[in-house]
Amino acid sequence: MKSPYGMLLSAIVMCLTALPAAAHHSVAVNFERGEPIEIRGTVKEVHMRNPHSQYVVTVRGEDGAATDWFVEWSDRNSLVRRGVDLDLIKPGDTVTFTLWPSQRLPNVGYFVQALLADGSVYRDCGFVQYREAVANSAKFRCEEGTRDPAQRATQ
């Protein structure tokens, strides 16, 4: 798309009253998108699927009791389209997840980012960044979504 269209579209969007959440369920309705929380645990299950991906993470409390957390993420197709490496987190990995907690259910949160065992941050750059790249005919890259050395070289 030519840049004048992109500029015009940006102006239009600024005038629009509402953008929905970046997932098919309303994230705004189901999750508290204020101050995120952190959990650290062992990844038990990985499900990259539509309409929602999910990690099941076993978190141990101070008393040693284990609790399973359900970490919801975007749909698989969107993550693939935005170049996110779906295999970076595997069962057995120890990961610190940053989450928006569920408004209604305990031990449920929406994925914001993950701190991997090697200290790198893993996240999806998101629909809005992808959409703006498309609108401005720019190549979309999300370095935080992959461990590809070429992609992460600019970090």
Partner 1 sequence: MKAPIRTSVLVLASCAFASTVRAAGTRADLDGVWLFYGSQVPKDPGLTPAGREKLEQYDPLRDDADTDCKPVTFTNIMHTPSPPIEIRPHDGYIEINYEFMDVHRRVPLDATLANAPYTVADHPHMGRSVGRYESDELVIETEDVEAGYLDTLGFPGLPQSAQMRTEERFIPDGDRLRVVVTHHDAVYYVAPMVMTYEFIRVDTEIMPWGCTLEGANYDKRLEAAEPK
Position of tokens 């309303």? 26
Work out how close the CB of 72 gets to partner 1 at its nearest, in angstroms, rounded to a whole number: 9
Work out how close the CB of 85 gets to partner 1 at its nearest, in angstroms, rounded to a whole number: 17
- Among 71, 77, 87, which Cα is nearest to 145's? 87
Asked if 53 touches partner 1 (CB under 8 A), the answer is yes
Helix 3-15 to helix 127-135 angle (10° resolution) is 140
Q: Which tokens in the block code for residue 84?
A: 């996110």
Minimum CB distance to partner 1 smaller for 19 or for 121? 19
Asked if residue 82 lies in contact with residue 125, where contact means CB atoms within 8 angstroms, the answer is yes
- Among 26, 28, 29, 32, which Cα is nearest to 52's? 26
> Residue 44 and residue 68: Cα distance in Å, rounded?
8
Minimum CB distance to partner 1 smaller for 70 or for 116? 70
Asked if 7 touches partner 1 (CB under 8 A), the answer is no
Residue 20 has what DSSP assignment?
-
Site string for partner 1, 63-92 (x = CB under 8 A): -----x-x---xx-xx-xx-----------
Work out how close the CB of 88 gets to partner 1 at its nearest, in angstroms, rounded to a whole number: 19
Work out how close the CB of 1 gets to partner 1 at its nearest, in angstroms, rounded to a whole number: 5
Q: Which of 3, 7, 25, 148 binds partner 1 (CB under 8 A)?
A: 25
Q: Which tokens in the block code for residue 133?
A: 């790249």
Residues of this chain that bind partner 1 (CB under 8 A): 1-2, 5, 9, 12-13, 16-26, 29-30, 47, 49-54, 68, 70, 74-75, 77-78, 80-81, 102-108, 127, 131, 134-135
